[in-house]
Amino acid sequence: MEVRRDISVSSANVYVEGVDLVRKGVQLDLSSHICWHVYGLIHKGEKNYKEALKCYTQALRYDKENLNILRDAAQLQTQLRIYDGLVETRHTLLKIRPAMRQHWMALAVAYHLNGNLTEAKKVLELYEATLKNVPDYDVEHSETMLYHVRLLEDLGEFTEALAMLDVNAKSRAIVDRTSIMEIRARLLSKLGSDEAEHAWRVLVEHNPECYEYYQGYFSNLGLTLDATNPTAPQALAVLQEFSTQIPRATAPRRLALTIASGEQFRDLVTPYILSGLKKGVPSLFSDIKGLYQDPAKQQIIEEAALDAQTQFSAAEPSSSAAAAEVEPTSYLWTLYFLAQHHSYLKRHTQALEILDKALAHTPTLPELHMFKGRVLKRAGDLFGGARCLEDARFLDGQDRFLNTKSAKYRLRAGMVEEASTLLGLFTKKDAATPGADLEDMQSLLYLVEEADAHNRNGHFGPALKKYMAVNKVFDDFEDDQYDFHGYSIRKFTVNIYLNLLTWEDRVRSHPAYVKSALAASRIFVAVHDDPSIATAATATAQLTDAQKKAKKKAKKAAQKIQEDAKKAAAAQTNNNDDKGLELTPKDDDPDGTKLLQCTDPLERAANLLKPLATLADTNIEVWIATYDVAVRRKKYLQASKALARVAAIDAEHPELHIRRVEFRQRVSGLAEPPQVVSPILTESIAKLLPDEVSVETFNSQYLQRHSTSGPAILAVAKVLVKLQTPREQVEETLFTALEGTASLDIKTALAIVAFLHTIQSPREVEFRTRCGEKFELSTVFKSAEELAELRQLALTAPHALPDKAEDIP
Amino acid sequence: MNIRLAKPEDLPSIQATNLQNLPENYLMKFWMYHILSWPQISFVAEDHKGRIVGYVLAKIDNGEYDEPKDSEKTEIHGHVNSISVLRSYRRLGLARKLMILSQEAMSTIYKASFVSLHVRKSNKPAIALYRDSLGFRVAKVEQKYYGDGEDALSMRLDLVI
């Protein structure tokens, strides 16, 4: 076992030597199960599960009944989702050691994962028959029985499931009371039993804030939580009964608001709002804004809030009698609520007026500053927003929530270094940078926001680096399940374990992954189209003077913090002698420059997008990005399929319009005509853009259909450029987006500005100015000089604020 | 707000909520380990869109590996590893409701005799919740428990079985 020892003392160098030795060992003796096993261990350590399993399979050829190897192989098979192989391995293990209880459970789970619930059930029955003298209150046994009930339920054997549940609940073999109640209610409903109603009621009484229990209770009675359903009055009566019966519960009162309408709604919502305002519940508005889909409810809520304002403001002047009844903060929270109300309805100016009134009343409530920042951000004043958030943070420096928000707003405004300084107030002092710590701690929020900020600033290297760091976090999430393939079975907690695997299979559907994969793929495509982007990035000289200054300043501040911390850390770790075991290699590409210059950008993009084809298949952007990559990789069939997916979701989508044209142009420019390549391809191209229609006509017809849509106008302009239309005409088209009848949001307006810039239009400034007038509160359209000034202003310390905020209500 | 048992698919949101709110953060595997080991005692609160706004993450300690001197520690007990509610969702009593559900599950399923937790000495609102609203008492002060050198109050609540 010399080799093994080599690895176990692996510091970086020895590790490499060890791996070499093992490789030599395998070559020298192909029939040594030890060599294959160790080689497998190395691959596993490198998270190369596929190769590891190959080695284990080899090792098993020479030592068929080696328990350790079999167990490791089973874990690898689970990790790789090779479930038929898993069943076989688990079978072997059970045959060798039938006395080990976990081997039975392991086989049942393997069958389950392989889709064979009947066999899983059989194994479990055999296992239970072997059990003797199960101790009382044995959580492992309880979980096993719950798993058995679950299998029966999944097999549709509801009567048997219920019987088993009841018997084991009574004998206290199952100790998890909540699970018993939940499964019982569900099974009784499925069986159409009269007892179901009571079972659901018991659950509601057990946890009256759990929506699922109400839903269960309702659907069992044939009721829904839908206001338009004719059964609404009945449902409302049930909820009111619950409210009376469980006065402390908020869920039934909130659910009633969804179902009620008209005067009844008014009678219910008024006390709901008043009580929230009196208590100073900050989430009151976000709690009820879902009701705004109904304009009548919106109106009633506004009236109720205005009434509250009158009521509370009357109590405002310090007339002692009134003050005794109404806290001054009620008035403040009412203003806060009204500001949110107006902002939601896009009345930015009105919202700001109310907020200023509230801030004049009490300047020390962080929520007011936070919301003012949000209004400004929504209205297109990113620096103003960042400044407000800093005002909020300043009031309670110990609150990480405010810190995170303020840093996020700085990132939204493109102030990457300045955001980092803030984040550093809560990250580990011995970390290389605040960002490095947040990356280590798997902060998706930070990674995505900073990547986006770099991306918007045109720093594609650092942006790509962070997007890929998000990808790495998801790799880790997937790796994290590995140990549980063994652990959960030993612990018999298989119900949650099976749910974990289901979640892991879909983990990359997380919005942070989707967003990062899409953004990274766009950068990879851009750098493929124009490799000069990558070389430009090497010259960090892109930074403006102000940015350089900020960077220097932030770096200095960060350095000081770190030095202090290192001293402290050194003092602590001196007596720790297993140093030097760290295998973390130094990052030789901190700014993502090399990443940007990689030779296979399209392949990398394709890899990032691959999981999304199943996990986010209703997302138009996913298919657009898939097309963009496929068409450049000359995978035309895949490209056409991707566009067909977009067309099926939204045939008139502006990005699709551009690509219908682009695809035809690309394919018709091919040396080898597509008929030769594939008749299916020719057919699908014709479907996307019929042969007999000219691109010019196609484009103008699209414009006619969507002449008032900002994004459509931009799409048409992009096609015009592809058709070598004179620039003046393209500009003419783009400027129609500013007309009163057109719908144009800030995001699209900025995209148009960027496009005018790429076509070197002399009218860019004019467009910016007009946007500045159209979005009156915005600052994003201002000139570089003006923006530099605003940026400075956003960083100045808040003034005229008390330094302690203890009187915050 | 909907309050329910934590599920594996909540893990990224729980981790994100923690990172946004508290200075003590953990890797995914830590969160995963807890809900996979004790799947019945961690809970979440979510808003109407299904976004997690608060959580409680707990574990069971069998006392087997603790110092044998301390007889109290050998009892089976629950421990709250991390609890937090987003600032914007405070004053709804969410933390209290989350705690009560967790405590009840610890007691009925694991026969835990008490529940313990650590709280920063300076965190007055949290201490008030544990002591005044939930009935915890201070068992001892742990000097310099937190990374930044702050003391922790080690608090306990006896659970009635």
CB atoms within 10 A of CB A668: 11
* Interface A-B: count of C-beta contacts within 8 A: 127
User: Among residues A538, A529, A659, which one has the least CA distance to residue A590?
Assistant: A538
In chain A, the residue whose alpha carbon lies closest to the alpha carbon of B120 is A398
Contact A401 B48 (CB under 8 A): no
Q: Which residues pair with B61 in a beta bridge?
A: B77
Q: What is the pLDDT of residue B25?
A: 96
B48 contacts on A by Cβ (under 8 Å): 287, 290
How do residues B97-156 score in pLDDT, each as one tens digit?
Answer: 999 999 999 999 999 999 999 999 999 999 999 999 999 999 999 999 998 899 999 999
3-class secondary structure, B3: strand
A401 close to B (CB below 8 A) = yes
Nearest to B9 among A279, A399, A503 (CB): A503
Q: What is the pLDDT of residue A325?
A: 55
Q: What is the pLDDT of residue A803?
A: 46
How do residues A162-212 score in pLDDT, each as one tens digit?
Answer: 999 999 999 999 999 999 999 999 999 999 999 999 999 999 999 999 999
Report which residue type is found at A732.
E
User: Among residues A444, A446, A449, which one has the least CA distance to residue A434?
Assistant: A446
What is d(CA A227, CA A234) in angstroms, rounded to the nearest whole number?
A: 11
User: Which residue has 């009721």 as its token pair?
Assistant: A223
Radius of gyration of chain B (CA): 15
How do residues A696-748 score in pLDDT, each as one tens digit?
Answer: 999 999 999 999 999 999 999 999 999 999 999 999 999 999 998 999 999 99
A476 close to B (CB below 8 A) = yes
Contact A484 B12 (CB under 8 A): no
Burial of A228 by CB count in 10 Å (0-12 exposed, 13-18 middle, 19+ buried)? exposed
B57 contacts on A by Cβ (under 8 Å): none
In chain B, the residue whose alpha carbon lies closest to the alpha carbon of A203 is B4
B111 contacts on A by Cβ (under 8 Å): 137
Nearest to A210 among B3, B7, B27 (CB): B3
A218 close to B (CB below 8 A) = no
3-class secondary structure, A75: helix
Contact B91 A279 (CB under 8 A): yes
Contact B87 A488 (CB under 8 A): no
Question: How distant is the Cα of A701 from the closest Cα of chain B, in angstroms?
Answer: 39
B30 contacts on A by Cβ (under 8 Å): none
Contact B3 A502 (CB under 8 A): no
Question: How distant is the Cα of B23 from the closest Cα of chain A, in angstroms?
Answer: 6
Question: How distant is the Cα of B90 from the closest Cα of chain A, in angstroms?
Answer: 7
Question: How distant is the Cα of B34 from the closest Cα of chain A, in angstroms?
Answer: 11
Report which residue type is found at A524.
F
Which two tokens mark A86?
A: 């898993």
Contact B47 A487 (CB under 8 A): no
Nearest to B2 among A209, A495, A503 (CB): A209
Q: Where are the domains of chain B?
A: 2-158
Nearest to B91 among A281, A438, A476 (CB): A281
A488 close to B (CB below 8 A) = yes
3-class secondary structure, B158: strand
Q: Would you say A598 and A518 are in contact if contact means Cβ atoms under 8 Å apart? A: no
Which two tokens mark B16?
A: 């994100």
B4 contacts on A by Cβ (under 8 Å): 207, 210-212
Strand runs labelled E in B19-147 = 43-46, 52-61, 77-85, 114-120, 137-142
Nearest to A139 among B22, B29, B109 (CB): B109
Which two tokens mark B126?
A: 């949290």
Q: What is the pLDDT of residue A33?
A: 79
Contact B37 A481 (CB under 8 A): no
Question: How distant is the Cα of B130 from the closest Cα of chain A, in angstroms?
Answer: 19
How do residues B15-59 score in pLDDT, each as one tens digit?
Answer: 999 999 999 999 999 999 999 999 999 999 999 899 999 999 999
Contact A178 B32 (CB under 8 A): no
- Give pLDDT < 50 ranges for chain A: 1-10, 319, 321-324, 541-542, 565, 568-583, 800, 802-809
Q: Write down the pTM of the prediction.
A: 0.91
DSSP class of residue A743?
B
Q: What is the pLDDT of residue A31?
A: 74
Q: Which residues pair with B119 in a beta bridge?
A: B153
B15 contacts on A by Cβ (under 8 Å): 442
A281 contacts on B by Cβ (under 8 Å): 91-92
Q: Would you say A667 and A689 are in contact if contact means Cβ atoms under 8 Å apart? A: no
B75: confidence class by pLDDT, cuts 50, 70, 90: confident
Q: What is the pLDDT of residue A70?
A: 96
Q: What is the pLDDT of residue A551?
A: 61
Contact A209 B37 (CB under 8 A): no
Q: What end-to-end distance do the CA atoms of chain B give, in Å? A: 29
What is d(CA A479, CA A465) in angstroms, rounded to the nearest whole number?
A: 21
Q: What end-to-end distance do the CA atoms of chain A give, in Å? A: 68
Which two tokens mark A686?
A: 């014709």
Mutate to test the interface with A, among B18, B32, B86, B100 (most CBs of A within 10 A): B32
DSSP class of residue A597?
T
Question: How distant is the Cα of B133 from the closest Cα of chain A, in angstroms?
Answer: 15
User: Which residue has 């998801």 as its token pair?
Assistant: A474
Contact B2 A178 (CB under 8 A): no
Contact B11 A175 (CB under 8 A): no
Nearest to B28 among A142, A212, A442 (CB): A442
Contact A441 B27 (CB under 8 A): yes
A769 close to B (CB below 8 A) = no
Q: Which CATH number is associated with domain B2-158?
A: 3.40.630.30
B158: confidence class by pLDDT, cuts 50, 70, 90: very high
Radius of gyration of chain A (CA): 32
A177 close to B (CB below 8 A) = yes
Contact A480 B29 (CB under 8 A): yes
What is d(CA A390, CA A406) in angstroms, rounded to the nearest whole number?
A: 6
A210 close to B (CB below 8 A) = yes
A137 contacts on B by Cβ (under 8 Å): 111
What is d(CA A348, CA A326) in angstroms, rounded to the nearest whole number?
A: 29
CB atoms within 10 A of CB A773: 11
Q: What is the pLDDT of residue A416?
A: 97
Contact A503 B19 (CB under 8 A): no
